[in-house]
Amino acid sequence: MKTTLVTLLLAAATLALADEPSKTPPSPGGQEQQQQFYKPPDPEVVRTHLHKLFDEELDKDGDKYVSSAELKEYLKKFHSRLILDSIDKQWEYFDKEMQEKLPGVKVLKWETYKKLSFPDRDLEKAGTEEAKAAQAMVERTERRWKMADFDGDGALDKAEFKSFLHPEEDERVRHVVVTEAVELMDGDKNGIVSLEEYMDHLRRVSGPEKDKDKNWAPAQQSHFSTYLDKDKDGALSETEMRDWVLPSHDREEGEAWRLISVGDVNQDTKLTKEEVAAAPDYFMGILPHEFWQQEGHAGSVKQREEL
């Protein structure tokens, strides 16, 4: 399976949500944050919920098929809800530490966010690799914070906080996603990402599939050489990284066609309920939040953030 845009955004740009409100939410830019992997839910349970999803959300015209247009529309709503949920959850977590800038308008200061998000014990381990990594994360996060602080007052309101957590959604700051991605992957700091650096990054952020699937590494290498390295020089330039991380095409349409390609057994460019249910490993990632709460997997980030 080829690497999707999401793998990189999950590691380099977006927020992995912590379920328990008593725990400090991971900071964005969290390549160094260890992802949570989990035992997947029962495939039969997933299939049951996929049947329900097909009938209630996907097959809008009731013709017993899901077209690319129907799937694209659902993915747009699904993606928007993921973002809004993540923002609301984070904003609520920091609420007690906020200040009221105007009546009814709260803001969060950088120093407050930093104190709650980055434990002093990590930053105080002077000279250790852990301390260096933690400090680098703080610096990346502060840079992103300042970019999202559009009025320059040192604090973020909720709209600015959205741009901070999800810069890929805001044209004014989305370029930082590319900058962060290059910095995280470019081990020798020469401004480009080699195949070796690319593979090292994927091994760090991928789950158990990298060890279980013998075709995993060859598939990633092939994707790099065939699709990402457009000038075939063996490395990804900043332009090539931007084309990968922030593609110009409609991401939901691309994901819709990707899902159709893996589930469309008879190759009629649309999906039946049976085809969707026959590929639970691919389609359970688009099940709504209520499913993950019900099944006790709401704290897992891998599938919930897959889109």
**Is residue 301 a part of any domain in this protein?**
no
Task: Concatenate the DSSP letters of all residues of the chain into one string.
Answer: -PPPHHHHHHHHTS----SSTTSPPPPSS-TTSPPP--PPPPHHHHHHHHHHHIIIII-TT-SS-B-HHHHHHHHHHHHHHHHHHHHHHHHHHHGGG-EEEETTEEEEEHHHHHHHHS-HHHHTSTTSHHHHHHHHHHHHHHHHHHHH-TT-SSEE-HHHHHHHH-GGG-TTTTHHHHHHHHHHH-TT-SSSEEHHHHHHHHHHH--THHHH-TTHHHHHHHHIIIII-TT-SSEE-HHHHHHHHS-SS-HHHHHHHHHHHHH-TT-SSSB-HHHHHT-HHHHGGGS-HHHHHHTT-TT--TTTT--
Tell me the average pLDDT of the chain: 83
State how far the Cα of 74 lies from the Cα of 80, in Å rounded to an integer: 10
Residue 118 near residue 136, CB atoms below 8 Å: no
**Is residue 40 a part of any domain in this protein?**
yes
Order of strands across the sheet that contains 99-102: 99-102, 105-109, 155-156
**Is residue 237 a part of any domain in this protein?**
yes
Average pLDDT for 84-100: 93
Residue 276 near residue 47, CB atoms below 8 Å: no
Read off the pLDDT band of 281 (50, 70, 90).
confident
**Is residue 305 a part of any domain in this protein?**
no
Write the secondary structure of 119-130 as one string of H (helix), E (strand) and C (coil): CHHHHCCCCCHH
**Is residue 78 a part of any domain in this protein?**
yes
User: What is the per-residue pLDDT for 41?
Assistant: 79
Percent of the chain with pLDDT over 70: 80
Higher pLDDT, 14 or 17: 14
User: What is the per-residue pLDDT for 202?
Assistant: 92
Higher pLDDT, 300 or 109: 109
State how far the Cα of 194 lies from the Cα of 221, in Å rounded to an integer: 11
User: What is the per-residue pLDDT for 138?
Assistant: 93
**Is residue 60 a part of any domain in this protein?**
yes
Give the up-direction half-sphere exposure of residue 260: CA atoms within 13 A in the CB hemisphere. 21
User: What is the per-residue pLDDT for 304?
Assistant: 43
**Is residue 307 a part of any domain in this protein?**
no
- Residue 151 in tokens: 């009025």
User: What is the per-residue pLDDT for 65?
Assistant: 97
Amino acid at 285: G
Read off the pLDDT band of 170 (50, 70, 90).
very high
| Residue labelled with tokens 């081990």 | 187
User: What is the per-residue pLDDT for 242?
Assistant: 95
- Residue 302 in tokens: 């891998």
Closest CA to 57 of 66, 45, 68, 47: 66
Higher pLDDT, 41 or 36: 41
Q: List, in sequence order, every residue forming a beta bridge with 236; answer none if it has no partner.
A: 193
| Residue labelled with tokens 């992802």 | 35
How many structural domains comprise the chain?
Answer: 1
Residues making up the chain, counted from first to last: 307
Find the domain containing 245 and state its range.
5-20+28-294
Average pLDDT for 162-182: 95
Q: Give the chain's largest Cα–Cα span.
A: 63
**Is residue 300 a part of any domain in this protein?**
no
- Residue 207 in tokens: 């789950």
- By the 10 Å C-beta count (0-12 exposed, 13-18 middle, 19+ buried), 48 is classed as middle
Read off the pLDDT band of 161 (50, 70, 90).
very high
Average pLDDT for 211-237: 92
